[in-house]
């Protein structure tokens, strides 16, 4: 498929594209929360500090209804750039890919039917442990249950996430597990210094090399939950982790609890794989022998500055956008020109109705 660039285990990537082309996809959207996102300057996922907590449920509502219930408008930055959920919604809708929302520690519940796990949000890793060991173990167990159920309903389970501030906890987990990670961010001019400070102070609390203890101290609830999902789902069906750095952290933790590499792939945008400030594809290669499939959504050709911004380094990934676009293109045979046309239509629908 000319739409995609492959990295890592390229043969397996080709097999994946071949074997899923007439199959069914199911998109699972995992929403969560870490108080780490409340540190000023860490994220732009929300127009102000207080609104960040509404971003994950609002993204879920937008994917579902086409508008939000928890907040008035769709999630956007202070200067009006829309959530990457716009790309996800366009992708899923154009390919009629069903989706389910899973609440794995979001501070606010979305106003739609969702899968409840009873999990609580993660604490700010710059000042305290994110979770207890038993919360991590519970998250893995619940993830395993959900992953098994969902994988049995489809040929390819796509897993996306929304957890503001999650690139920082991902960086901490990757470093604590001894991977040489440089982390991308939803903000151009990535606040690298601030993130490294937070990560370093978090790493000081680590006193055990047990992976559960590491994630409890410096991670977030999404990482063990999605790792549990991957662990069970990859024994039943294909799994595509849809995301960048955060999914690399999932992969790193999952490699400690076990998963089936042969059925696993990461799907993301070219904005992630082309990002010189990060080292995404070599990082994945270091963690696991799986393919990275990258798609260029073609947004640099958009007439709308809000869409063009994605291609200029803002919100390079999120809400499983890359993996959704890949799944959608596999299923519909659309190319990026067609995808851009659909995304622009959705953009106009949203910004005309505001």
Q: Which residues make up the interface to a copy of itself (CB under 8 A)?
A: 24, 26, 64, 96, 98-100, 102-103, 109, 111-118, 142, 145-146, 149, 152-154
CB closer to a copy of itself out of 64 and 316: 64
CB closer to a copy of itself out of 145 and 194: 145
Indicate the angle between helix axes 336-353 and 85-94, nearest 10 degrees.
120
β-pairing, 25-31 vs 99-103, is: parallel
With CA atoms as reference, report the closest residue to 7 among 242, 289, 249.
Answer: 289
CB closer to a copy of itself out of 64 and 331: 64
CB closer to a copy of itself out of 30 and 248: 30
CB closer to a copy of itself out of 60 and 252: 60
- Minimum Å gap between C-beta 158 and a copy of itself is 13
- Minimum Å gap between C-beta 154 and a copy of itself is 7
- Minimum Å gap between C-beta 325 and a copy of itself is 20
- Minimum Å gap between C-beta 112 and a copy of itself is 7
- Minimum Å gap between C-beta 99 and a copy of itself is 8
Q: Which residues in 132-229 belong to E strands, given as ranges? A: 156-162
With CA atoms as reference, report the closest residue to 176 among 216, 140, 137.
Answer: 216
Cα–Cα distances (Å) from 301 to 77, 98, 273, 313, in that order, read 21, 28, 19, 14
State which H helix or E strand residue 267 sits in. Answer: strand 264-269
- Minimum Å gap between C-beta 26 and a copy of itself is 6
How many CB atoms within 10 Å of residue 210? 13
Q: How far apart are the first and last CA of the chain?
A: 37
CB closer to a copy of itself out of 145 and 257: 145
- Please tell me the distance from the alpha carbon of residue 324 to that of residue 238, in angstroms, as a whole number: 14
């Amino acid at each position: 498929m000319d739409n995609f660039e492959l990295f890592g285990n390229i043969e397996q990537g080709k097999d994946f594209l071949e074997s899923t082309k007439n199959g069914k996809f199911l998109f699972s959207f995992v929403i969560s929360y870490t108080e780490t996102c409340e540190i000023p300057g860490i994220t732009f996922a929300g127009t102000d500090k207080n609104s960040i907590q509404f971003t994950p449920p609002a993204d879920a509502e937008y994917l579902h209804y086409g508008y939000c219930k928890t907040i008035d408008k769709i999630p956007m930055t202070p200067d009006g750039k829309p959530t990457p959920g716009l790309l996800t919604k366009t992708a899923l809708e154009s390919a009629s890919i069903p989706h389910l929302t899973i609440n794995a520690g979001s501070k606010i519940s979305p106003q739609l039917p969702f899968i409840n796990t009873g999990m609580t949000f993660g604490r700010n890793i710059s000042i305290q442990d994110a979770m207890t060991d038993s919360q991590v173990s519970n998250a893995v167990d619940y993830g395993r249950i959900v992953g098994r159920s969902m994988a049995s309903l489809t040929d390819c389970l796509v897993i996306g996430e929304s957890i503001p501030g999650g690139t920082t906890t991902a960086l901490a987990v990757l470093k604590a597990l001894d991977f040489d990670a440089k982390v991308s961010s939803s903000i151009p001019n990535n606040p690298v210094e601030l993130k490294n400070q937070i990560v370093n102070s978090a790493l000081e609390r680590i006193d055990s090399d047990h992976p559960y203890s590491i994630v409890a101290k410096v991670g977030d609830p999404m990482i063990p939950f999605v790792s549990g999902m991957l662990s069970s789902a990859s024994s039943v069906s294909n799994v595509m982790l849809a995301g960048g750095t955060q999914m690399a952290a999932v992969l790193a933790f999952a490699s400690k609890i076990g998963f089936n590499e042969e059925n696993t792939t990461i799907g993301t945008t070219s904005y992630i794989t082309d990002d010189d400030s990060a080292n995404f594809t070599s990082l994945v290669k270091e963690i696991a022998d799986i393919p990275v499939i990258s798609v260029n959504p073609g947004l640099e050709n958009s007439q709308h500055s809000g869409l063009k911004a994605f291609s200029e380094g803002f919100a390079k990934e999120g809400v499983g956008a890359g993996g959704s676009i890949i799944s959608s293109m596999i299923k519909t045979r659309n190319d990026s020109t067609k995808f851009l046309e659909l995304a622009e239509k959705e953009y106009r629908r949203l910004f005309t109705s505001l």
